[in-house]
Structure 1
Amino acid sequence: MERAAVLLGERTDDIVATMSREMGATLPWCGFNVHVAKGMLVEAAAQAYAAVGKVIPSDLPGLTALGVRQPVGVVVGIAPWNAPLILGVRSIVWPLVWGNTVVLKSSEQTPLTQAAIVQVLHDPTWRRPPPRPASVPS
């Protein structure tokens, strides 16, 4: 995920131009999308190494609850057009980090912008591939 954040940063100008062209948004809004998406990828990378279990407070005396992260299988992320990078990354990054396979259903209005998310995750410069695949159905 950290490498994906770096790649997103390196491709900022191209992604901003594509996003602006697809959705008719201002360049500052598109740049903000890239900035926030990079932050999400960095945070997701940190969460990948977080503790796997967490004690959850119980309102019943003498009872303890424990939350455990475990993959559930295939997760579908549906991302709208109005903040395509932020909402696209948010819809797939957490399920990926927690071990799931993710399918991103991108918006018909911003398919190239949302394809950039998958491209940074599958870039051939990765030292090793992501733990689970992500894809955008055609």
Structure 2
Amino acid sequence: MARWGIGFTDRTWGRGFGERPWVDTRSFLGGMAASDPEFRYLVDVIDSVMDSGADVLLAGGTSMHDLMVTPHPVGPHVRDLIVVRAPSSLRPAATAGHVRIEHLSSTGYNDFIDRPPSDAVPLFWRFVLEKYGIRPPHRSV
């Protein structure tokens, strides 16, 4: 599994980001949600990205079942990631039944918030606006 590592001068994502088309990521995690409804909030986040037109502004991928997001364009060294943790994540929310959204930063000032799954979409957009300054074209944040 990819992890944060120390680069020559800063922290970067340990392997290539592995961007996947949003529709493919939705299909993959949608299959998970079909068999386990606890995964539904991941699909809701992906749908909000695609429906808002932000799929051209944000790159997505997965690490195991966690949703990984970074701004476009994706360079060879990803320095910041927003991660929407899956129920089966190695770093799940501290409270069972909650979602953890985490920002991994090259500065080392990582942060996360755990909330009920019903808060996943607005919390995701809060992180995107706060960390990347990105407002999706067709969504009021």
- After TM superposition, the score normalised by the length of structure 2 is 0.29
Structure holding more helix per residue? 1
Q: Which of these two proteins has the greater Rg computed from alpha carbons?
A: 1
Structure holding more strand per residue? 2
- After TM superposition, the score normalised by the length of structure 1 is 0.30
- Bigger relative contact order, structure 1 or 2 (CA pairs below 8 A, ≥6 apart): 1
